[in-house]
Structures are given as structure tokens and as C-alpha cells.
């Protein structure tokens, strides 16, 4: 990624993400949103630090971010896309319905910055199918097809 991209101002910072998603510490896994095309695609960032609680046990002396949390972070980025794309988001919540074709390509470790690129494949009134990819630098580290349900709170 070009140096200018690293200094790019976010579309949404973490405070704005918290106004959209219901997640909070220790389960908010999105630090900022860099790009957003409503109903189409989104790019989000998660900075991975050694201070993450899960590194205590996964794995002692050799910390690796659990794959399930990479997929959760990817889904949270997708949730921001969906909730920003609909009117009256204050009474909506996005739930997982399923995940398919999950692949983990490389371990994610403290100091990495995950960049999630999530694209809508199919959007219906109450369901959405998205393809997500996670990168560290230019290396693909994980990918998944995410199925979600959009419901009233």
C-alpha cells in the first residue's frame, strides 16, 4: 500500500463506528472505515495489538489472532456497510446467518494491520450475502462468504 494511503483520513473513525455498531470493548473489532459505497462495498481497518486479551491464551509465547475473530471483524465491517445503507438504522441490528468458503491463508500477529474489503453479492430486504477478504499489507490472510440477517432490535 502506498504511503499516502496509510495517512488517508477515514470516512468513519472509531467513535462513528460505535454510533453504528452495538459492539463494545472487548468485542468491537473495527477501528476505522476508509471507503464506503452504500449497498456495494466497504473497506475497514483493525489494528492488531499485543494488548488484545485473546493473545494471553492464543498462544502463550507465540500470539496468533484467532481465525474466528478475523471473520467476526470482517462481519462487523460488513455490518457497518449494511447499517449505513439503510434508513432509520437506530432500530436495526445485523446478525450472522452463516459463513461459507472460509479460508485462512496466513497467521495474523500483534503489530499487523488488517484491512477488510467487503463486497455485497446479494442484498434483499432482510438478508445479505457478502464476500469478505482480509489483508495484511498486500497479502491475503483470510476470506469468507458471509450471510447476514437484518432485524429490528
Catalytic site positions = 58
Cα–chain-centroid distance for residue 42? 9
**CA 7 – CA 119 distance, rounded (Å):** 23
Nearest CA among 137, 57, 129 for reference residue 105: 137
**CB-based contact 94:83 (threshold 8 Å):** yes
- Find all residues with CB under 8 Å of 61, minimum gap 6, and list them: none
**Residue reference for cell 503489530:** 111
Amino acid at each position: 500500500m502506498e504511503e499516502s494511503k496509510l495517512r488517508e483520513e477515514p470516512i468513519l473513525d472509531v467513535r462513528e463506528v460505535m454510533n453504528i455498531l452495538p459492539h463494545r470493548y472487548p468485542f468491537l473489532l473495527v477501528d476505522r472505515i476508509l471507503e464506503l459505497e452504500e449497498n456495494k462495498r466497504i473497506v475497514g481497518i483493525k489494528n492488531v495489538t499485543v494488548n488484545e486479551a485473546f493473545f494471553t491464551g492464543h498462544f502463550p509465547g507465540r500470539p496468533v489472532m484467532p481465525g474466528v475473530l478475523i471473520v467476526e471483524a470482517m462481519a462487523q465491517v460488513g455490518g457497518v456497510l449494511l447499517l449505513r445503507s439503510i434508513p432509520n438504522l437506530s432500530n436495526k441490528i445485523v446478525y450472522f446467518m452463516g459463513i461459507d468458503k472460509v479460508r485462512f491463508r496466513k497467521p495474523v500477529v500483534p503489530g499487523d494491520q488488517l484491512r477488510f474489503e467487503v463486497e455485497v453479492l446479494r442484498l434483499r430486504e432482510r438478508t445479505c450475502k457478502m464476500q469478505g477478504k482480509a489483508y495484511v499489507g498486500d497479502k491475503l490472510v483470510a476470506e469468507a462468504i458471509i450471510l447476514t440477517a437484518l432485524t429490528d432490535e
